[in-house]
Structure 1
Amino acid sequence: MKTLEHYLSVYAKYHRDQRNIYTHYIGIPLIVFSVFCLLSKPAFTVVLGVLGETVLSPALLVWLIGNSFYLKLDSKLGLAMALVTAMMVFGAQYVAQYTVGPWLGISVGIFVGGWILQFIGHYYEGKKPAFVDDIMGLAIGPLFVAAELSFELGLRNHLKQQIESRSGPIKN
């Protein structure tokens, strides 16, 4: 399996303009949340005996698979991603409780809004989105946002240096 540094460095090559990164801070979470909203509509309540009950949906399956991948790449960023995306799945369950029209309108509206921000960022960047050349960019994008936010907080400086040595510095 490729390393965290590899995935983030490849993704970072498409994201060296600070304005593009800033649009991703909002756009990518919106897209992820909207996907969880869309995948939360077919939900099933499962009774767990004395433990109570829980709601199962395709959103939960995607959450498990995605966060297993993130945790395998890096335990700290993976844990942060698991917590943030767990809150998104929880919130998406509320959106999925609407009837089909409002649920779909809210979910698709958030999805489109997120992508508009992405394309505005890539306009500033002057480069196409990473997923155009490698579909893994869709999975790495949320982790990239988490990593970049950690860099802004002064964390993970060694990882930041590794990425910048492979992809170049961020242009302000």
Structure 2
Amino acid sequence: MKTLIDHLGQYAEYHRDRRNIATHFVGIPLIVLAVAVLLSRPGLEAFGLWLSPATLAALASVYFYFRLDLRYGLVMAALLGLSLWLGAVLAVQGTALWLGAGLGMFVVGWVIQFVGHYYEGRKPAFVDDLMGLIVGPLFVVAELGFLLGLRAEVERAVEERAGPTCIREKKATA
């Protein structure tokens, strides 16, 4: 299995422009929340919990994150737990509200992502490696931590592999 640095470093290679990273702070949470909402039907309540395909996807994701790093795993578990809660709240609403909220967040999230990749001048990481779909949310959490001065050793290792973040100017076409 790849290490935390392997996954974050590979993902970061596609995300060095600060504007692209900024769009990911909005786009990825919207997409994660949308998936939780859309996968929360069908579901059933058991032991005070809403069990659905979203629950299974979140549990598998949290297992992956914990295998990479305990601290990031804890943060991701908490964030996915919040997403599951909101997904369950929307899943028991009328179909129009559930589906409209889920699809709306999904589409808006991806539009924001592609705007960021326009600035980056590169395709999204998942195009070359589907693992980018599960690493993306972890990347956002890691980048937020880096902005707060946390996990400097991880930030250094990621930048050794991917290079520092910057703002790239689009080349004018003649």
Give the TM-score of the pair, scaled to structure 2.
Answer: 0.94
Matched, 1:127 2:103: no
Offset, 1:25:
0.4
Matches of 2:14 and 2:107, distance apart in 1? 21
Q: Which residue among 51, 57, 74 is the counterpart of 2:52?
A: 57
The alignment yields a C-alpha RMSD, in angstroms, of 0.9
Cα deviation, 1:47-97, whole Å, max 9, x if unaligned, reads x4xxxx322111111111000100110000110010011011101111111
Runs of 4+ that moved beyond 3 A: none
Partner residue of 1:20? 20
SS of 2:45's equivalent?
strand
Partner residue of 2:172? none
Offset, 1:103:
1.1
- The number of residue pairs the alignment matches comes to 167
SS of 1:59's equivalent?
helix
Offset, 1:115:
0.3
Offset, 1:102:
2.1
Matches of 1:94 and 1:45, distance apart in 2? 12
Q: Which residue among 143, 150, 157 is the counterpart of 1:148?
A: 143
SS of 1:45's equivalent?
strand
SS of 2:2's equivalent?
coil
* Structure 1 unmatched ranges of 5 or more: none
Matches of 2:142 and 2:23, distance apart in 1? 15
Counterpart amino acid of residue 126 in structure 1: G
Within-5 A mapping of 1:67-78: 67-78=62-73
91-100 vs 111-120, which moves further: 91-100
Partner residue of 2:2? 2
Partner residue of 1:83? 78
Offset, 1:105:
1.2
Q: Which residue among 114, 134, 147 is the counterpart of 1:139?
A: 134
Matches of 1:54 and 1:63, distance apart in 2? 14
Offset, 1:98:
1.7
